[in-house]
Amino acid sequence: TLTEEESMEASPPENFLPAVEVVACFCYWQERFLFLLRQPNKLQGDTWCLPGGKVEQKETLQKAMYREVYEEVGITLVNEHSFFWKSLFVRVPQMEYMLHLFHADLNQKNFCINLNLTEHSKYRWLSLSEAKKLPLIETGQELIELFEKEFKKGC
């Protein structure tokens, strides 16, 4: 659960000054979602997260999401099976940032995971209820709950 100094909202809170924009993707395959374990030396190391990362200058949100998923796990996403879901305004003690969420259905694709070991040490395909039992990146629990509430896929 978010603390008093933390928030994740659909509209910008007062005096919101995002330091960065970030993308994350709920990659769905055979009734499971892809979660990655951050390397211990990374920010929020040894926590589980969705594939994603910072949006680079002059990069569209969709291009950023495609690039991050490819860099982190080697999956090339395609338009027909990946969708923008929503943007959130996140405020945590260390920073404020925009979080842009996507959903990708990988059931029609052939792929293999090629994990970027400089960023992550493991990957797992999990139901959302399994993922909620793991140590998640900050706001991870709330993102999963929001996704469950809005998509209700019986995940």
What predicted TM-score, i.e. pTM, was given to this entire model?
Answer: 0.92
Pairwise CA distance, residues 47 & 111, whole Å: 25
Q: Supply the pLDDT for residue 110.
A: 81
Mean predicted confidence (pLDDT) in 122-150 = 95
Q: What is the mean pLDDT of the chain?
A: 91
Q: Supply the pLDDT for residue 154.
A: 44
Mean predicted confidence (pLDDT) in 122-147 = 95
Torsion angles phi and psi, residue 42, rounded to 5:
-85, 160
Per residue in 88-97, pLDDT tens?
A: 999 888 889 9
Q: Which residues on neighbouring strands pair with residue 83, listed in sequence order? A: 103
Torsion angles phi and psi, residue 2, rounded to 5:
-75, 145
Per residue in 39-83, pLDDT tens?
A: 999 989 999 999 999 999 999 999 999 999 999 999 999 887 899
Assigned token pair, 31: 């009734």
Cβ contact 76:106 at 8 Å: no
Of 138, 17, 1, nearest in space to 89 by CA: 17
Pairwise CA distance, residues 110 & 9, whole Å: 35
Cβ contact 137:46 at 8 Å: no
Looking up tokens 């959903």, which residue turns up? 103
pLDDT surpasses 80 at 153 = no
Q: Which residues on neighbouring strands pair with residue 103, listed in sequence order? A: 26, 83
